[in-house]
Structure 1
Amino acid sequence: MSFLNHNGRTLCYRLLGDSEKPLLVLAHPLGMTQGVWDDMLPALLSKFRVLTWDLPGHGASSAWPDGAGEITPDDLAQEALTLAEVADAKAFHFAGTSIGGVIGQQLVSKYGDMLISATLTNTGAIIGSPEAWNLRAANVRANGLAAMAGEIVPRWFGPAACKAQPALLDGWKVIMGRGDDNSYALLCEMLGKADFREKLRGRDVPVQLIGGEEDLATPPESLKILAQCCGAPDPVILKGIGHVPSVECPELLANLLLKNLG
């Protein structure tokens, strides 16, 4: 792991692989860490230099500072751009899941000249409703992530993954419970406001969309609407997979990236 000071915070990131290969930046889902990509790295590093990082208050990245106000999609996109600059990349491939896909949409809509391609998985031009996100934010601030993890984590994975890995839910409950409550709540509020339906039209970045058949948070219909918004091909919907394919079917997702990113 490496660390970088950015706007008064510490970002924890990993930059792996051959500097001569094209850069692939990966953004993880809400409540998780950059560790979601670990099982994909051996395959991806055969073709890419890979950069992953922890979002605010997740993993080993600093919490969002008290009194610093809201978090916006552009704040998170700037983290990705700053880290790409550390890697000396003039342009890069991007892949992100859930809130990571929201970061990708911000990059596509505003910084397309920096992108070679964008792969967005298990996400949407809008995700859920403002009311639901604001309620979750309030509950997290009142009760803490450790108490909320038991309710949230089971929604991430399809039945097949839970059956194959009996300790999967317990492990991710521990990881989620160690996150920063306020940073998580601010990200929930950001998701309640994020709406990219009119921001992606006419963009030139090649976009690939991937979803999970068993995804409760961002069901296949969310990806189909997103495809219409950004002019992407029909999404690839993975059978039996929930919200986090990098954990549930890492080999399959890595193969899709390797195939579609040239």
Structure 2
Amino acid sequence: MGITTGDGVRIAYRFDGDRDKPVLLLSNSIGTDLHMWDGQVPALTEHFRVLRYDARGHGASDVPSGPYSLDRLGRDVVELLDALGLQRVHVLGLSLGGIVAQWLGIHVPERVDRLVLSNTAANLGPADQWDQPIADLLAAPDMRATAERFLNNWFPPHMLQDEVVEPFRRTLLATKREGVAGSWAAVRDYDLRRTAALIEAPTLVIAGEHDTVTSAAHGKELAEIVPGASLTILPTVHMANVEAQPEFLEAVLTFLTEER
């Protein structure tokens, strides 16, 4: 299923779970699609109707060329919620998905119930560090080198040949370079270190102790910026939802279902 945004881009999405449960929106990282959450959906749907989507440039969504902006990535989600008639949802985002989730908490607080920001950051500067990787990727013959670099940044060495990682490798190789480069541009240009203080939603920040993409220090900084945020540090690299699935799910479900 899909919707078309105001600038003519198709965004693919899917629901899992019972219609009578509260909706939990999941937002994916760069180089993945909505299937990055496949392992967690069975547990999450015990409590929520899970809404997943492919960020523009990824999966079954359209892949416009040129740089993307965080504002546009955020508006994609708002337009998706509008099209589906969803006024207020819980939001869980990882990496770029966590950046988009921050944007939602800042700019459309009335649409966000509780917020989980996993393996993400309020800023990933300096901005000019992204220019050469973007140029190199667009000049590369294919996604092979980038795919292996991503996987080495996402998972510990002992997991790289594990069957659970293979779908991530296939997705990376199938992802169009323009989608990754456009998303990197959004990461290059964003800085929420001041505005994340405007987030009103109850917020859980999850960080990976060994994460080299968005470090534990990034997670601590974000948790200090967002008013009242709690912080959980897991003994993982970047894909905490996969590497430490039981601990990740326990943290997420405890936070999202606890009485307030």
Q: Which TM-score applies when normalising by structure 2? A: 0.91
Asked if 1:108 is matched to 2:105, the reply is: yes
Structure 2, unpaired ranges of 5+: none
Which of 173, 180, 183 does residue 184 from structure 1 map onto? 180
Alpha carbons of structure 1 residues 12 and 159: separation in structure 2 relative to 1, 3 Å: same
The Cα of 1:170 is off from its aligned counterpart by 5.0
> What displacement does 1:168 show?
4.8
Query: 2:26 matched to which residue of 1?
Result: 26
Following TM superposition, by how much is the alpha carbon of 1:176 offset from its aligned partner in structure 2, in angstroms? 0.8
Q: Does 1:127 align with 2:99?
A: no
The answer for the alignment partner of 1:5 in structure 2 is 4
Q: Name the aligned partner's letter for residue 3 of structure 1.
A: G
Match for 1:245: what amino acid? Answer: A
Query: Are 2:216 and 1:220 aligned?
Result: yes
- Quick check: 1:199 aligned with 2:198? no
The superposition leaves residues 28-69 of structure 1 with CA deviations (integer Å, 9 ceiling, x where unpaired) of 1111111111111111111111101111221111101x4xx5
The Cα of 1:194 is off from its aligned counterpart by: 0.8
Q: Specify the SS of the correspondent of 2:39.
A: helix
Matched residues in 2 for 1:89 and 1:172: separation? 30
Deviations 1:98-142, CA, capped at 9 Å, x for gaps: 000110111111111111011000000012432222221111101
Matched positions, count = 255
Check the 8 A contact 2:202/2:229 in 1, yes or no. no
TM-score normalised to structure 1 length: 0.91
The answer to whether structure 1 residue 82 and structure 2 residue 79 are counterparts is yes
Change (3 A) 1:20 1:86: farther
2:152 aligns to what? 154
Please give the secondary structure, in 2, of the residue aligned with 1:94: strand
* Cα offset, 1:146, TM superposition: 2.9
Q: Percent identity?
A: 27
Please list every run of 5 or more consecutive structure 1 residues that lacks an aligned counterpart in the other structure. none
Shift >4 Å, 4+ stretches: 167-171
Aligned partner letter, 2:202? P
Q: CA deviation at 1:20?
A: 1.6
* Residue number in structure 1 paired with 2:227: 231
**DSSP 3-state at the match of 2:194:** coil
Q: Does 1:246 align with 2:241?
A: yes
C-alpha displacement of 1:260: 0.5
1:90 to partner: Cα distance: 1.5
Give the whole-Å Cα distance in 2 for the aligned partners of 1:171 and 1:258: 25
Partner AA of 2:110 in structure 1: D
Whichever residue aligns with residue 190 of structure 1, its letter is A
CA distance in 2, matches of 1:242, 1:76: 25
- Asked if 1:140 is matched to 2:143, the reply is no
